């Protein structure tokens, strides 16, 4: 069973739900913003922490973020696979002692470039050297000590990293579908107007996007404690 932490209702697994259904792998959503959490790691093989508009630094306003980071630590200590997306990635960085801070704003479709270590990493080895992915963030993070950088973009150096054998953090949203992006565009309409981004396109990836997203998450769920 995969535990999936949502930080806002509209940001779910997207395409990755289809991967889980096809692979026959059970999963359960927990809404962290409603103080809904699994009771420890028992019964769960993997942890996925999704994105949201919150800041990992604003724990006084969003107290449940502290609980999420504790759960991340617990899964990491149990050597169980962990994947953080956007805000989830920033939480992993924070747990590992890295600084999370305001950075260049990326909203829309941007190219990321893989690093040399990514070419031999199980989750990234099949990626093209560069791929267009969906971004939506105002904050970034330093690379945690002993972490391996796996991807960068022109504006943000740390787009993805790996820590240990089975903890992955990705700043970008590899899970999105056209319907999902359109839904975000409507849900965050006031924010986009303020940022002058109302013309945000729902989908303009290159042809490798869907197979890359599918294979990436399929490989993540194939990670096990034994492999780790």
For residue 5, the cross-strand partners are 30, 49
Alpha-carbon gap, residue 114 to 123, rounded angstroms = 12
Establish whether 173 is a catalytic residue. Answer: yes
What does the pLDDT look like over 141-197, one tens digit per residue? 999 999 999 999 999 999 999 999 999 999 999 999 999 999 999 999 999 999 888
The catalytic position among 11, 68, 139, 175 is 175
pLDDT at 206: 76
pLDDT at 227: 46
What does the pLDDT look like over 62-82, one tens digit per residue? 999 999 999 999 999 999 999
- E-only strand ranges, the chain: 2-6, 27-31, 46-49, 82-85, 100-114, 130-141, 148-153, 160-163, 167-170
Direct distance between the N- and C-terminal alpha carbons of the chain, in angstroms, rounded to an integer = 17
Strands 148-153 and 27-31: what pairing? unpaired
Residue 27: both structure tokens together = 């999963």
The catalytic position among 68, 137, 139, 173 is 173
pTM of full prediction above 0.75: yes
Which CATH architecture describes the domain 2-222?
3-Layer(aba) Sandwich (3.40)
Distances (CA, A) of 211 to 89, 127, 130, 163, 207: 22, 9, 14, 25, 8
Establish whether 227 is a catalytic residue. Answer: no
Backbone angles phi, psi at 21, to 5 degrees: -65, -45
Residue 162: both structure tokens together = 């790996």
211: three-class secondary structure by DSSP: helix
Backbone angles phi, psi at 152, to 5 degrees: -140, 165
Q: Under 8 Å CB-to-CB from 179, ≥6 apart: which residues?
A: none
Q: What is the mean pLDDT of the chain?
A: 93
What does the pLDDT look like over 79-117, one tens digit per residue? 999 999 999 999 999 999 999 999 999 999 999 999 999
Q: What is the CA radius of gyration of the chain?
A: 16
Number of H helices, E strands in the chain: 6, 9
State the pLDDT confidence band at 211, using cuts at 50, 70 and 90. very high
The catalytic position among 86, 106, 139, 166 is 86
Establish whether 35 is a catalytic residue. Answer: no
């Amino acid at each position: 069973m995969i535990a999936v932490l949502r930080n806002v209702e509209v940001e779910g697994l997207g395409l990755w739900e289809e991967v889980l259904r096809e692979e026959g792998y059970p999963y359960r959503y927990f809404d962290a913003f409603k103080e809904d959490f699994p009771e420890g790691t028992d019964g769960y093989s993997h942890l996925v922490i999704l994105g949201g508009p919150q800041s990992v630094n604003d724990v006084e306003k969003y107290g449940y973020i502290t609980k999420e980071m504790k759960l991340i630590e617990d899964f990491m200590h149990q050597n169980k696979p962990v994947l953080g997306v956007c805000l989830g990635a920033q939480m992993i960085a924070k747990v590992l002692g890295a600084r999370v801070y305001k950075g260049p704003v990326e909203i829309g479709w941007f190219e990321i470039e893989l690093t040399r270590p990514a070419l031999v990493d199980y989750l990234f080895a099949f990626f093209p050297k560069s791929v267009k992915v969906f971004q939506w963030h105002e904050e970034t993070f330093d690379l945690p000590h002993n972490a391996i950088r796996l991807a960068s973009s022109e504006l943000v150096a740390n787009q993805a990293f790996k820590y240990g054998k089975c903890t992955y953090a990705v700043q970008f949203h590899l899970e999105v579908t056209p319907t999902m992006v359109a839904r975000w565009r409507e849900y965050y309409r006031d924010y986009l107007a303020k940022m002058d981004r109302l013309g945000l396109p729902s989908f303009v990836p290159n042809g490798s996007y869907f197979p890359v997203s599918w294979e990436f998450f399929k490989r993540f769920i194939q990670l096990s404690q034994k492999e780790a």
